[in-house]
Structure 1
Amino acid sequence: MLLLVVEDDDIVRMLIVEVLEELDYTVLEAENAGAALTILQDPDQPLALLMTDIGLPDMSGHELAARARQLRPSLPVLFASGYAENVNAADGMHVIGKPFTIDQLRDKVVGILAAA
């Protein structure tokens, strides 16, 4: 399965990607929403999940998710936020609070993909 991780902090993004790859997912990375939209607009990328930080430098994770859903209406979205209790997630969208453990990330992603 192909996952897209959008995170502006290089170290955090690297750790998330490493964990997901260890779980045998193929992961594409984007450091901002613009780079993510380029990937999302490519019909040859069969994405199974968009995982995005809420606070991105060029637009919010919510805006990115809305644009992603215009392009791919059924794409599951996982928001990562240090303020998870304040994040409103629409249908088919999920939230994981930062910091999270490897087990929490694994369980959340596996659960989302199993339900999709």
Structure 2
Amino acid sequence: MPEQTEQRGTALLVEDEPFVAMVARQILEDEGFEVEVASTGGGALSYMDRDGHALAMAVVDLGLPDMSGNELVQRLLSLRADLPIMIASGHGKAELQSLFGRNERMALLPKPYDVAMLRRALEELGFVIED
């Protein structure tokens, strides 16, 4: 019988590439998150209006079709200043740090990423990852 992963709450995954969203969703579910997926910034904000108070974290792709990821991150933080956010982008980590600075509630996840990179970013946000 497979080992049960501790439930960590809901993660909002904001990603417009279906394959990337599918893979990221699976990794997050394997790490114990219930995952809500939005493919646009508007969809993410709509979710925040309904259930944003209950989110454990968000993963935001910066390349969204309807608004810049930078704007979405700022709007998410204006709604929930304590929300841990993982920023996924094809930009390098140094470029992401220059955009967002250092913030203990944010983890930078350069794309393309793999399971180990996403797990490391979860640890940066304070989630305990077990091997």
TM-score w.r.t. structure 2 length?
0.80
**Unaligned ranges ≥5, structure 1:** none
Q: 1:14 to 1:53 in 2, by over 3 A?
A: same
8 Å Cα contact 2:14/2:39 also seen in 1:
yes
Aligned residue among 86, 95, 99 for 1:78: 86
SS of 1:41's equivalent? Answer: helix
Task: Give the 4+ runs in structure 1 shifted more than 6 A.
Answer: none
Does residue 7 (structure 1) correspond to residue 15 (structure 2)? The answer is yes
Aligned to 1:89: 100
Residues in 1 aligned to 2:22 and 2:36: alpha-carbon distance in whole angstroms? 11
Aligned residue among 51, 58, 71 for 1:63: 71
Higher RCO (C-alpha under 8 Å, 6+ residues apart): 1
Residues in 2 aligned to 1:5 and 1:54: alpha-carbon distance in whole angstroms? 12
- Larger mean Cα displacement after TM superposition, 87-96 or 23-32: 87-96
Report how far residue 43 of structure 1 moved: 4.0
Q: Deviations over 1:49-77 (max 9, x none)?
A: 11111110111111001111111111111
Aligned to 2:5: none
Q: Deviations over 1:10-52 (max 9, x none)?
A: 1101110011101111111000101000111124751011111
